[in-house]
Every structure is written in C-alpha cells, then in structure tokens.
Amino acid sequence: MADTVLFFTRSDDHGGVDRVAEALRARGRRVARLDTDLFPTDLLLTYEQDAHGLRARLALDFGDVDLRDVSAVWYRRFHPAARLPSDLDPQHRHAAALESRTALLGLLHALPPDVFVMDPWGAIRQAAQKPRQLALAPRVGLRVPPTLVTNDPAAVREFARHHPGGLVIKTMSSFEMRRGGAPHADRLRETDHDELDGLDLCPMMFQARVSSALEIRAAVVGRRVLVAAAETGASAHAHTDRRRDSHARQDTWRPHALPAAVEAGLLSLAGALGLNFGTADLIVTPEGEHVFLEINPAGEFLWLETSAGLPICAAIASVLVDPAARREASHDA
C-alpha cells in the first residue's frame, strides 16, 4: 500500500511544513521532504521509464524513497539548482539549472494518475495570474475593486480621474527582487502621476482604493474555508499590503465567519482555478461589503494557526490523505 506523502519544498521553508508532517504521521503516513534547492548538488534522483511503468528513487537525508510508495504530493515551493557553484560558466549554469528543473518537473508529471497532487504545477502557474483571478471572481459572486492593467501612463491618469479615492499599484506576478525580497503593493500618490514613463518597460496593475474596516485572510483547504480577520485600524498598510507589518500584527488576528455567499464564492473560485489550497485576501468595507483582492495558490498560513487558532495544518493533512476532504476542479466559472 502506498503510504508516503512527498513534499516538494525548499530547505528554508519552515512555515507549517513540520506541523503538517506531524499531522500526517499521526495518521500513519510516512513523510518524505524533497528540498528542491538541494537538487542536484546534494540530493540524488534516479527514475526509469519503460513498458512496465515508472521506477524512481530519491536519496534523501533519512533514506531512500521509492516513488511507487507515494500516495500524495504536496507541491509547495520549487527552487532547483540553487546551490550550483557560483563560478560555473554562465552558459553551463543555465543549462544545468534548466535540466535540473526539467528533471524534477518530469518526475512530478510522470507520477501515476492515482497519485493526488496538491496542487498541480500547471494549475498553480495559471492560478497565480492575478488578472485571471479578477476575471473569474465576479462570475462566482465575489466583488472585486475596479482594476486597470496597462503600460500607458495616460490610461493610468484617466483611471485615477474616475477614482478620486486613490489608487493602489501592484505587480501581477510574484517574484523576488534582487534586494529586499518580494515587491509590495503601495498607494499611487499624486506626485507619482508625473513619473509613470517607466511603464513602457514594465506594465503594472492599478486598483481603485477601497475603504476598509476589516482585513480578511481566508485559507481555502479542500472543501473548507478557514478565516481570520484583523481590524484595519491596527495597520497603517491595510489598504495596500499587509505583508509590510505582518510580523508586528500577528497577535491581532481572530477567527472570523464569512457570509455564506462569500465562502461559497471562494470555494467556487478555487475549484475554477483547479486548486485544493490557496490563501485569499479580502477586505470588509465600513458598510460591511466583502471585496476580494487576490488568492495565493501557495500562500503562507502558519501565523493564522498560531495567532487565530485555525486548524489549517490538520486540514491540509486531511486533504492529502482523504479523497472526501478534497475539492474537484470545476472549471465552471
């Protein structure tokens, strides 16, 4: 019987990975953690495909893993070839990184169809596209802010004229800056309107700023939605990007109940995106209306468990081992 759950992550991922592993072991499952940044320099992978199917072996810290024993995969982080020698010829380094990436993704895609993956690499890649999320959300009953994507400075100024409450500027994808980590969303100030010429090199997303009374973080885990909220007054950045002061504010989050229609909308959106896991950000206006901002297919969640007491790690473990806890992709939005 296949009883191993394989984690695809990276060695600096300390989030809730250990807690999920503990929950799986309590359910009698073996956990194999593949830190993708250690491949190929520190980990060995061998797989062979023939007429009899796939035979694969991973040599990990605690021993070998036979891929025939894997029943589920948790795809969380992916950073192969991170430890290639810095003095490697750039052309060879690029080739080695590409081959390493292809080998790991090839293994993931070659797993038998009865191996459950949360979530498939292709689904995560597509779901991470914010314009796609914002196009699907209204179809499942979620309100979204007026949004503009452009590389035309004149279009931004015209959009701002129609939204005198101000604009928020965002990136459309998640990426790491060379310094300072991931970019944050921020307000577009009046003085910035004369400095938009850089859009000809990089299009951006602009959203009308919506007044907020509460910030919502909702973890969609299979068929469940686990929700916490914090008062907007606790954050100077609530209207833009809660990541700016998230560490200082972790103790301000409390469990929250969403209206049934909003919860149903989030579940439908996750199904349309092909996801069994995602962390969604919403705000609640002073009038009590819920506004959807985005969903992160591989978002952080441990601070919601430790601060608000949400049983997210146990819910993830349930989805990985119990088909009844999973949500099938609907693609009907």
Tens digits of per-residue pLDDT, 113-149?
899 999 999 999 999 999 999 999 999 999 999 999 9
pLDDT of residue 104: 93
Q: Can you give the pLDDT of all 333 residues of the chain as single tens digits?
A: 579 999 999 999 987 999 999 999 999 999 999 999 999 999 988 888 777 777 778 887 667 888 888 999 999 999 999 999 999 999 999 999 999 999 999 888 888 889 999 999 999 999 999 999 999 999 999 999 999 999 999 999 999 999 989 999 988 875 443 444 444 567 876 655 566 877 888 899 999 999 999 999 999 999 999 999 999 864 445 445 554 455 556 778 999 999 999 999 999 999 999 999 999 999 999 999 999 999 999 899 998 999 999 999 999 999 999 999 998 765 444
φ/ψ of 159, rounded to 5, equals -60, -40
pLDDT of residue 64: 81
User: What distance in Å separates the CA atoms of residue 32 and residue 70, rounded to the nearest whole number?
Assistant: 9
User: What distance in Å separates the CA atoms of residue 86 and residue 101, rounded to the nearest whole number?
Assistant: 18
pLDDT of residue 15: 74
Model pLDDT for residues 17-57, shown as the tens digit of each residue: 999 999 999 999 999 999 999 999 999 888 887 777 777 78
One-letter amino acid of 234? A
Residues with Cβ within 8 Å of residue 106, at least 6 apart in sequence: none
pLDDT of residue 182: 47
Put residue 332 in one of left, alpha, beta given phi > 0 → left and psi -120 to 50 → alpha.
Answer: alpha
User: What distance in Å separates the CA atoms of residue 221 and residue 241, rounded to the nearest whole number?
Assistant: 23
pLDDT of residue 192: 58
Residues 62-77: b if buried by 16+ CB within 10 A, e if exposed? eeebebeebbbbbbbb
Is-contact 31 7, C-beta < 8 A?
yes
Residues with Cβ within 8 Å of residue 265, at least 6 apart in sequence: 137, 140, 141, 142, 292
pLDDT of residue 180: 44
pLDDT of residue 1: 59
